[in-house]
Amino acid sequence: MATISASWALLKHGWCKDTLIAFDDHGKILAVTEGAGPGETHFHGAILPGLPNLHSHAFQRSFAGRTEFSGGGSDFWSWREAMYRAAGTIGPDTMAPIAAYLGMAALQGGFTALVEFHYLQNDRDGTPYAHRPAMAEAIIEGAQQAGIGLTMLFGIYQTADFDGSPLQGGQKRFNTSPDAALTMVADALPQQGADLRFGLSPHSLRAVPPASLHAAISGLAALDASAPIHIHVAEQQAEIAASLAVLGARPVEWLLHNAPVGPNWCLIHATHTTAAERHGIAASAAIAGLCPSTEGNLGDGIFNLPDFTEAGGRFGIGTDSHVCLDAFAELRLLEYSQRLRAEKRNVLAGPDAHTGRILWQAAAQGGAAAAGRPIGVLAPGNRADLVVIEPTPETHAMHPDFWLDAAIFASDQKPARHVMSGGHWVVRDGAHVRQQAITAAYRRALQKIF
């Protein structure tokens, strides 16, 4: 058993002073005690539950920053063509160092878990690898090198659009049937443990026809009824129009009426939704998977989060294309986008509450549900995933609510001072414990693929 303590800790019911956390050699929290003496390691700061990153495409980190010029087009669909070109350069040998670097950077940004929405599953010409899950295993290897918890979601991707048109060009690398994806899940389940979880990610209603979606859902339920199911939905207005034309319903509307959307589901983006759809998601207990920096980068639009949370909806955040890997910055952008939309301040705080705490706790608990792992709350039985922050000079004598507010809204550097994942310190004094080796391998991988 090991123990750590801090001046404050953010527990499910709020801030607790002089808190001691005990955890075992396997990274499971054994006890959380308020008003206790110092542990083996003590911080004059605040301990937060680690934030799960509920939406990741690891390979997309490799071309972050390479599409910010108008000559390449100025909409989502032109960006998608650039993404296809980048996807065509990566193999299992380069995927592992990319995933390791991604995991390292996410940890330094305050994320302690990733949910990988994995659909880059075939060789460059579109044929399956001889060992079908080669790319998934490379991502798992990278996450383990970085020391970050992982939920691996095997993708399903069959058609280019709602009308069933065949996959073209770069899309062929994604071609995966429900049977193939379910076989990979079944083969992977014996590896499942405290820091590794498996599930499915039907890419979208554009890419997965209704019959395939139903087969995938029923097949997964037979393997693991609680396994996470994530799907992209209602990200772009053109998607809404195509869904109406072919399915006779909006994407979220169709899902709510034709699929068993429930607590183990995560609807990624759900940007363009009606009030009825948002309230339907909330009633289903599914998670809205919001990706503020990617949605801003792609010009997707702004999800109506206040309406959703007032209906009891749960949400988490992901970094998707990984143009930003800072949990604090993602929450800041999430709140600021809502302020710009509503033309008011502290949109998500509610009466007499601090915006930072409301955002962090909601995203931690919603992200944990989306990941399907015992994380997101500092409590006995959960993983010892945590982040240590320190007060700024402006807030040092104040309540820790102000420390967290400052970390999210007034920080000029990454606020995660120390980070623990699964009972292991992976970031100390802002630096990852394997930073040099992981960064060097990542640079070699980029030199090879570009």
- The residues annotated as belonging to the active site are 269, 320
Residue 29: partners with Cβ closer than 8 Å, 6 or more residues away: 21, 22, 23, 378, 379, 380, 381, 382, 383, 384
- The torsion defined by the Cα of 211, 212, 216 and 218, in degrees rounded to 10, comes to 10
> Taking Cα atoms as reference points, which of 390, 386, 338, 374 lies closest to residue 359?
338
Q: Beta 386-389 vs 111-118: how paired, if at all?
A: unpaired
Structural element, H or E, at residue 447: helix 435-449
Supply the DSSP string of 362-376, one letter for each residue. HHHHHHHHHHTSS-S
Helix, strand, or coil (residue 436):
helix
Helices 178-188 and 210-223 sit at what angle, rounded to 10 degrees?
20
Supply the DSSP string of 29-75, one letter for each residue. EEEEETT----SEEEEEEEEEPEEEEEE-GGGGGGTTS--SGGG-SS
b vs e for 12-45, b when ≥16 Cβ sit within 10 Å of the residue's Cβ?
Answer: eeebbebbbbbbeeebbbeebbeebeebeeebeb
Instruction: Tell me the C-alpha distance between 104 and 51, whole Å.
Output: 14
